[in-house]
Structure 1
Amino acid sequence: MKKRSKLNNLLFCVIIVYICFVFGKQQITIKNIKSQIDEKNLEVEKLKEKNKTLQEEVDMSKSDSYIEKLAREKLNLIKPGENAVINNTDK
């Protein structure tokens, strides 16, 4: 009877140790997943901010004043009656 009792106690201890091991491993996995979720949420927030900035640029590019500014800068266009001033600061 004592051998059987010792065997049962040993088996019980092994099962408890196994359960603790599995529980610990799951906790580590959960912690890693939560960390990844936090990283992805931060990335989403950054992308939303970038998207907002780009959307503002798109909206601005549709305005007449922006188109006029680009025409003046890139194409060197001037309005009738204006005098063109060339700034040669590049040396």
Structure 2
Amino acid sequence: MGRVFRPGLKTLLGIVFVLMVFLALNFCLQFGHLATMQQDVRQIEAQVRELKQKNEELRRQLKQVQSDSYIEQMAREKLGLVKPGETRIITRSGQ
């Protein structure tokens, strides 16, 4: 009959030690991964805040350029239009 292998105390302690080292290294790697991901989240959140501010500014500008007063102002300044009954006066620069 063959002998049944029974690990000794040193062998069991060695296996436990190797397992603990493996688990500790794995934990450190996962913790580092988590820290990197948290940093990425902070950067993305900052970008989202920035884009929300820009979006709000663009909405404000759009509302402004769609207003009747702005359209009338641009029609007068850029196109030289006048309301009925008004007279357009053109000045010459340099005289």
Please, which runs of 5 or more residues in structure 1 have no aligned partner? none
1:85 positional shift: 3.4
Residues 14-71 of structure 1 show CA distances to partners (whole Å, capped at 9, x for unaligned) of: 0010010111011011101111110110011001001100110111112112112222
One of 8, 11, 35 as aligned partner of 1:4: 8
Greater helix fraction, Structure 1 or Structure 2: 1
Instruction: Determine what percentage of the aligned residue pairs are the same residue.
Output: 28
TM-score w.r.t. the length of structure 1 is 0.80
* Count of residue pairs brought into register by the alignment: 86
Other-structure match for 1:83? 89
1:82 positional shift: 3.5
One of 40, 59, 76 as aligned partner of 1:72: 76
Other-structure match for 1:63? 67
> Cα distance 1:15–1:38, how it changes in 2: closer, same or farther (>3 A)?
same
Q: Aligned partners of 2:62, 2:43: CA distance in 1, in Å?
A: 28
Matched, 1:42 2:34: no
Q: Please report the RMSD computed on the Cα atoms of aligned residues, expressed in angstroms.
A: 2.0
Contact 1:71 1:77 in 2 (8 A): yes
Please, which runs of 5 or more residues in structure 2 have no aligned partner? 1-6
Q: Aligned partners of 2:12, 2:69: CA distance in 1, in Å?
A: 86
